[in-house]
């Protein structure tokens, strides 16, 4: 049934391809060049889903981490709850949310955010826990209040771990966003799914997703280099 539908879609979609390579479901560079524009909208949508989910996920995780930092007993419960959210398969979450939030970006973003919470929260906590006690004592000795200590000493020193967590979350979110079309939110996955037997299509859409993940990873790494010059000095 679905194969039949897909076959029809394929015939319509590839009308402007022409070459026998395309008819054979092959890998055709010329087709990719000619049809690249059909990937731009899904790519933009993919970037949008990823960035919005990361921004919301980071904000929530950051707030939770600050809360758990001052109230240690919260670390266990928050870790357990976010671990359950992390465990739930995103595809299942999309459809579990569907009756509540309907089809569209909202459902996709809720699922993607819930997946990133554990990764970012745990890394922020690790970063804060790894700040040497002597450094905090020195800060306190200089007369810093708890708030100043947090923002001026602990968080800057935790930045490498925090950004490492963000990198993991970013690549994971790009990957999961390929499933967001099941929730009606489009993205590169929709393009992959539209013609899964056509090598050119799969390689282009899948390749764009991998490139996007790599690019985001690199951008966050560069931000980390800029924000924490001392780590580089220590490494070399």
| Residues forming the site for another protein (CB under 8 A) | 1-2, 25, 72, 75-76, 79, 83-84, 87-96, 98-100, 118, 122-123, 125-127, 129, 161, 164-165, 168, 171-172, 174-176, 178-179, 182, 189, 192-193, 196-199, 201-203, 205-206, 209-210, 213-214, 217
Judged by beta carbon, residue 144 or residue 194, the one nearer another protein is 194
Judged by beta carbon, residue 186 or residue 189, the one nearer another protein is 189
Residues 6+ apart with CB under 8 A from 32: 200, 203, 204
| Nearest distance from C-beta of residue 59 to another protein, angstroms | 20
Judged by beta carbon, residue 46 or residue 105, the one nearer another protein is 46
Judged by beta carbon, residue 9 or residue 142, the one nearer another protein is 9
| Nearest distance from C-beta of residue 7 to another protein, angstroms | 14
DSSP string, 77-99: HHHHHHHHHHHS-HHHHHHHHHH
| Nearest distance from C-beta of residue 211 to another protein, angstroms | 9
| Nearest distance from C-beta of residue 143 to another protein, angstroms | 29
């Amino acid at each position: 049934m679905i194969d039949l539908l897909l076959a029809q879609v394929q015939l319509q979609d590839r009308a402007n391809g022409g070459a026998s390579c395309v008819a054979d479901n092959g890998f055709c560079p010329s087709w990719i060049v000619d049809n690249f524009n059909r990937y731009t909208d899904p790519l933009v949508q993919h970037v949008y889903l990823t960035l919005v989910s990361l921004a919301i996920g980071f904000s929530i995780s950051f707030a939770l981490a600050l809360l758990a930092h001052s109230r240690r007993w919260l670390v266990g419960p928050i870790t357990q709850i976010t671990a359950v959210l992390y465990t739930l398969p995103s595809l299942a979450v999309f459809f579990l949310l569907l009756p509540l939030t309907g089809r569209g970006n909202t459902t996709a973003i809720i699922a993607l955010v819930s997946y990133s919470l554990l990764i970012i929260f745990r890394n922020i906590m690790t970063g804060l826990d790894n700040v040497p006690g002597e450094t905090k004592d020195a800060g306190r000795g200089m007369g810093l209040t708890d708030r100043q200590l947090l923002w001026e000493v602990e968080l800057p020193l935790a930045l490498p771990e925090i950004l490492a967590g963000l990198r993991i979350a970013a690549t994971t979110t790009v990957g999961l966003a390929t499933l967001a079309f099941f929730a009606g939110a489009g993205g590169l996955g929709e393009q992959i799914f539209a013609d899964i037997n056509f090598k050119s299509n799969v390689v282009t859409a899948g390749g764009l997703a991998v490139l996007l993940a790599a690019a985001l990873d690199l951008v966050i790494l560069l931000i980390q280099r800029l924000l924490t010059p001392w780590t580089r000095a220590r490494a070399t």
